[in-house]
């Protein structure tokens, strides 16, 4: 997976919030094989983490940090949070979220495009949390975004891919762009489906953190992402409207 010219072997990104303990988070990261974890500046600043212990854990696992602007509802708020994240985490990567609706947590696409333009001009490498809207996607790319992260369904809903047609259309529109399904994935089959559509990766959070066994679930998602990608690369059989026999009819016995 290509994130701003950095090639990663894993196609799975993992959130770091709401795990039962730092040790379970550590084990889950290792089991998932993820090379990128997302961290909210707001949660880090609020002291939800155990400070130095959290950073010791990140260094131990060797993963890269992708700070996000979770919880931001305006362009100014998102841009300011991104600038603070650069100082705290020391990376130009930013998972940009500008929330427009408090109930569905749907992105404010107008604000997202504006914030992307501002941050891109300032040298940030934006990974934009968006919808499957193609017009918004075009505007984000024009604003400098090279990684689009469309939702599968609302954050934390575990409903999977609500609009497969829209996600497939986005993949077709941007064949060379890095696309990562973010939000709404609840079980490994959802992740496999996203990969079968040709997406470059998936981002998971609650689906692993809130599972009965987060470590086992992390491994399950690792395998599902790998399987989905292999299936896509193998050019799977496309659906048909009519039946087609799998056993040849030529040469079968004929009884008079």
**Residues annotated in the binding site for 1-deoxy-D-xylulose 5-phosphate, as ranges?**
156, 183-184, 205-206
The answer to whether the beta carbons of residues 148 and 157 sit under 8 Å apart is no
List the structure tokens of 78.
């998102």
Rg (CA), the chain: 20
Q: Which of 53, 64, 92, 95 is catalytic?
A: 95
Paired sense of beta strands 147-150 and 64-68, if any: unpaired
The CB-based long-range contact list for 40-43 (8 Å cut-off, 24+ gap) reads 40/67, 40/68, 40/70, 40/71, 41/67, 41/68, 41/69, 41/81, 41/84, 41/85, 41/88, 41/89, 42/70, 42/71, 42/81, 43/17, 43/70
Q: Which residues are annotated as a binding site?
A: 156, 183-184, 205-206
The reply to whether 95 belongs to the active site is yes
List the structure tokens of 3.
């994130």
Residues known to be catalytic? 95
């Amino acid at each position: 997976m290509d994130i701003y010219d950095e090639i990663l072997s894993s196609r799975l990104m993992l959130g770091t919030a709401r795990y039962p303990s730092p040790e379970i988070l550590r084990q889950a990261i290792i089991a998932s094989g993820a090379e990128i974890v997302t961290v909210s500046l707001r949660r880090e600043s609020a002291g939800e983490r155990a400070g130095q212990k959290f950073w010791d854990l990140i260094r131990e696992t060797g993963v890269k940090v992708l700070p996000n602007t979770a919880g931001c509802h305006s362009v100014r708020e998102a841009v300011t949070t991104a600038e603070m994240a650069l100082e705290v985490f020391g990376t130009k990567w930013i998972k940009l979220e500008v929330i427009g609706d408090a109930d569905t947590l749907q992105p404010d696409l107008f604000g997202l495009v504006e914030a992307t333009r501002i941050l891109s001009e300032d040298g940030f490498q934006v990974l934009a949390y968006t919808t499957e809207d193609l017009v918004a996607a075009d505007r984000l790319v024009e604003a400098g975004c090279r990684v689009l992260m469309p939702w599968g369904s609302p954050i934390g809903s575990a409903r999977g891919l609500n609009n497969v047609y829209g996600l497939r259309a986005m993949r077709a529109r941007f064949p060379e762009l890095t696309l990562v399904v973010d939000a709404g994935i609840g079980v490994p089959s959802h992740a496999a489906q996203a990969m079968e559509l040709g997406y470059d990766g998936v981002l998971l959070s609650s689906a692993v953190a809130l599972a009965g066994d987060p470590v086992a679930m992390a491994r399950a998602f690792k395998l599902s992402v790998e399987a989905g990608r292999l299936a896509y690369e193998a050019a799977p059989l496309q659906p048909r409207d009519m039946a087609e026999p799998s056993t040849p009819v030529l040469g079968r016995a004929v009884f008079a």
